[in-house]
Amino acid sequence: MQRCGYVHLWLLGSVLLICLISGVTRVNGDVALTHQESRLNPSKSNLNQTEHGHGSVITGIPIVTFKWHHVETPYLVALWILVAGLGKLVIEANHHVTSVIPESALLICFGFILGGIIWGADKVQTFKLTPTVFFFYLLPQIILDAGYSMPNKLFFSNMGAILIYAVIGTCWNAASLGLSLWGCHKGGAMGDLDLGLLQYLLFGSLMAAVDPVAVIAVFEQVHVNEVLFIMVFGESLLNDGVTVVLFNVFDAFVSLGGDKIDAVEIIKGIISFFVVAFGGSLVGFVFGLLISLLTRCTKNIQIIEPGFVFVLGYLAYLTAEMLSLSAILSIVFCGMCCQKYINSNMDERSVTTVRYVMKVLANGSETIIFVFLGISAIDKEIWVWNTGFILLTLLFVLVYRFIGVFFLTWILNKFRLVPVELIDQVIMSYGGLRGAVAYGLAVMLDENKIKEKNLMVSTTLIVVYFTVILQGITMKPLVNWLKVKRAAVGELTLIEKVQDKVFDHMLVAIEDISGQIGHNYMRDKWNNFEEKWMTCILMKPSARKNRDYVFKVFHKLNLKDAMRYVTEGERRGSLEFVRNETAFIDFKKKFDDDFSEVMPDIMADTSDDYNPVPSVSLEMHEQTMNGMRPLEDVNSHHLLQQHLYKGRKQHRHRYSRSHFDVNKDENEVQEIFQRTMRTRLESFKSGKMGVAPLKHITKHLKKDQQQKVRASEFILLDNLHYNNNIRASASSFPMRVTYRAGAGIENPAFMPDLDPMAQVQIPPWLAEAEVDSSMVAPSQRAQLRLPWTPSNLRRLAPLRISAHSTDSFMLADAPAAQQRDNDQLPPPPPPPAPPHGDHM
């Protein structure tokens, strides 16, 4: 109900807005100028503006002047982006609607409404989707995004099928549609039209291509299995090359006129197809390599390195266009080539930036495209109705798509390892959506050469609406009804990825053994080549080191764990940690020196430990409170001052255009990850070694009874309080706590406190005193560590504590945990679901 209210309010607002704009436009006597035209003619509006400026007689200094022409073009562009964005917002707010009708269809309908409003205000369609704007400003980013996020392995393993569909399928579509329409024309099905065979073929060629934008928009919402998706998606991307060639060739043929076409011209046309397609891909490939090379050396200008990806990608597009090669193929291959290298060359933040900006741009222009497709329809000028032509086109488009797909799949299935199933073929045929590319090409037709241009444009629009809206809406029910195999959406799991690799190696080996040169063999050869040369040249040495696939997955999982851990920590408000790096190094050094003789084994384990040392700081403070060691008191304060999180205040107002990482808090995840990796190694090692000293500590604790625990805990609370004050709102988290909330996976990196090693870390100032009784000494410290050690952990995820020896901890913590539960925290939440429930 509330939403309806919003919708009304918003519609009202947009109506007002548009009336205002169109009103203004009219007032300035500039109605005929479409906004795109004016955008392409900045000189014109500048001219207007200068005329305004100098032409009028200055009678005094105006305080405020209204200079609409001065800002008109960018203002309108910005407003349209805003309107489209708001339209999407409204549409997406209604989940029950978008779950039935795909967003693209809704956006087109939204475009109808807007177009109606503009029409009502202006009595002429002021805003249209022009080919220039579409091909130069809206399409590239969508395709770049598609290329950049293309699952390369999947794509190349289905490359053959995709190419067959894209090349032969599209040619078939074009030819069959053109010829059939021509035949129907000859048969008198559509009355008196001034169209010849070539014009029909030209029309067929622009209608032939499946549109990547529409396909992505619809198929993104129905999660079909990945093979099916990549087939439709890949086809829609690659058939552009074919479409452009066919369109250009037939366009040229139409210009030449029927009688001048001979075998030579036709052969030239066929050659030009190969040149355009492969040339375009080559341009893209070169630019992809360029991007990769460039990102190798952008370490010092990290803040703008994401920019290179976009600029060079766009340049790839424009270069191909300039050389009259296939621009779409170019930018697709550019994105596909560079994805691997830039992802490992660039800083992780830059990669995230690229990914997000890519999505923002792609999604934004997709929205704008659909809205404008809708708006373009509300224009009396373009509508020429010819029932026969339009209906026959619709019918043929659909029928020939089915015939083409079924026939080609029938051939392909003879060669495919895993044949394409019948229902997949149905979906593939049904997913042959036409979209803005076809419309853009139709608008590009030359009216002088083709008299019936408007009929073609309106037919194209109808086909687009039919496929995007009707087929889009019915796609989901159809997929459900046919029980198409869906994509398995699941969590990333390490074992799956490992197994993936094993499968790859296994297949190669089996092909080797059985003496076949198959797909896997080729891929293996390519991988070796890639490993040897491309990676060497295109990847930073540092990035080359740890780019192993499985390791990356591992990295990602850890990152995810870390984030979940942070969220969980935030929820519980456990800010009682300090982190400390430099101090710890010093501490370690000294520790090492002192103890390496005493406990060589343990020292060897911890020698490069880089743990943050909350325990040290906390302990120091506790000692301060006890007033036991005045000297260390100073020491500890020094430590705390230096290494606690800085309050945010200190950094917040510093502004820098070239550095993003002034405020460390924003790098939390990064830091957490780095720590994770370090501590993980440690904890694992020590966990495995089952370091002995634990037992001593435990004994001691047991002896020490609860009072002592309680006392120290009290101090600790105080201590925490203090820390929290210092750190105020710094939302930073210690890394040395087990995270297990609902994750199901025990990430050893987050459970270093179960790591017995931690217990024997003795600060240097204690070291001298306690060298002799080193095994028993840590008792106090051990208690101090309690508040954020296992008791908490157990509450976070009362699952299995770990493979480490933990029972002693349970014993040690029990009283403390109880106590804290009672007076500090709300009763523990019900335990999260058992781990296997999460990742089945």
Partner 1 sequence: MGSSNSSVNNIPNAQELMQETGFSAAHILRLHERFEFLDKHKCGQLRLVDRPTNQPQDFGAVQELALNPIGDSIISAFFSPGQETVDFASFVRILAHFRPTDRNQSRDGAQQEPANSSIRKLKFAFQMYDQDRDGKISRAELLQVLRAMLGIQVTEEQLQSIAERAIQEADLDRDDAISFDEFRKSLEKVDIDHKMSIRFLR
Where along the sequence are the contacts to partner 1 (CB under 8 A)?
227, 417-419, 488, 490, 493-496, 498-503, 505-516, 518-520, 524, 528, 545-548, 550-551, 554, 557, 677, 680-681, 684-685, 688, 745-749, 800, 803, 836, 839-840
| Residue 462 to residue 377: CA distance in whole angstroms | 9
Q: Which is nearer to partner 1, 352 or 493 (CB)?
A: 493
Q: Which is nearer to partner 1, 116 or 742 (CB)?
A: 742
Q: Which is nearer to partner 1, 369 or 735 (CB)?
A: 735
CB of 760: closest distance to partner 1 in angstroms?
A: 20
Place of tokens 């990806």: 309
| Residue 820 to residue 576: CA distance in whole angstroms | 14
CB of 490: closest distance to partner 1 in angstroms?
A: 5
Burial of 423 (0-12, 13-18, 19+ CB in 10 A): middle
Phi-psi region of 29 (alpha: psi -120 to 50; beta: other; left: phi over 0): left
CB of 607: closest distance to partner 1 in angstroms?
A: 13
Looking at the DSSP assignment, which residues form a beta bridge with residue 224? 486
Nearest to 232 by CA among 170, 292, 166: 166
Quick check: helix, strand or coil at residue 150?
A: coil
The 8-class DSSP code of residue 657 comes to S
SS3 content of the chain, % helix, strand, coil (to 5): 75, 0, 25
CB of 511: closest distance to partner 1 in angstroms?
A: 6
Q: Which is nearer to partner 1, 1 or 418 (CB)?
A: 418
| Residue 354 to residue 660: CA distance in whole angstroms | 15
Q: Which is nearer to partner 1, 239 or 747 (CB)?
A: 747
CB of 676: closest distance to partner 1 in angstroms?
A: 10
> How does 68-91 read in b/e, with b if 16+ C-beta sit within 10 Å?
bbbebbeebbeebeebbeebbebb
Q: Which is nearer to partner 1, 415 or 714 (CB)?
A: 415
| Residue 11 to residue 574: CA distance in whole angstroms | 46
Q: Which is nearer to partner 1, 455 or 793 (CB)?
A: 793
CB of 90: closest distance to partner 1 in angstroms?
A: 36
User: Cβ–Cβ contacts within 10 Å for residue 144, how many?
Assistant: 26
CB of 197: closest distance to partner 1 in angstroms?
A: 43
CB of 160: closest distance to partner 1 in angstroms?
A: 12
Residue 8 in tokens? 């009304």
Q: Which is nearer to partner 1, 164 or 462 (CB)?
A: 164
Quick check: helix, strand or coil at residue 224?
A: strand
Q: Which is nearer to partner 1, 65 or 516 (CB)?
A: 516
CB of 557: closest distance to partner 1 in angstroms?
A: 7
Residues 6+ apart with CB under 8 A from 601: 689
Residue 196 in tokens? 């010849």
Q: Which is nearer to partner 1, 38 or 676 (CB)?
A: 676
CB of 736: closest distance to partner 1 in angstroms?
A: 16
Q: How far apart are the first and last CA of the chain?
A: 38
CB of 424: closest distance to partner 1 in angstroms?
A: 13
| Residue 72 to residue 42: CA distance in whole angstroms | 10
Ordered alpha helix ranges (H), 690-834: 694-727, 756-759, 764-770, 779-784, 790-796, 807-823
Ordered alpha helix ranges (H), 347-419: 348-377, 387-413
790, 797 Cβ separation under 8 angstroms = no
Nearest to 754 by CA among 687, 816, 814, 692: 687
167, 239 Cβ separation under 8 angstroms = yes
55, 152 Cβ separation under 8 angstroms = no
Place of tokens 């990035």: 543
CB of 394: closest distance to partner 1 in angstroms?
A: 35
197, 182 Cβ separation under 8 angstroms = yes
Residue 188 in tokens? 């008198």
> How does 486-518 read in b/e, with b if 16+ C-beta sit within 10 Å?
eeeeeeeeeeebeeeeeebeebbeebeeeeeee
Q: Which is nearer to partner 1, 1 or 417 (CB)?
A: 417
106, 91 Cβ separation under 8 angstroms = yes
Q: Which is nearer to partner 1, 305 or 524 (CB)?
A: 524
CB of 697: closest distance to partner 1 in angstroms?
A: 25
Q: Which is nearer to partner 1, 458 or 747 (CB)?
A: 747
| Residue 392 to residue 183: CA distance in whole angstroms | 11
Nearest to 410 by CA among 393, 392, 424: 424
| Residue 314 to residue 327: CA distance in whole angstroms | 10
Q: Which is nearer to partner 1, 749 or 762 (CB)?
A: 749
Nearest to 634 by CA among 506, 765, 492, 769: 765
Q: Which is nearer to partner 1, 679 or 723 (CB)?
A: 679
CB of 111: closest distance to partner 1 in angstroms?
A: 39
CB of 581: closest distance to partner 1 in angstroms?
A: 20
CB of 492: closest distance to partner 1 in angstroms?
A: 10
Q: Which is nearer to partner 1, 497 or 579 (CB)?
A: 497
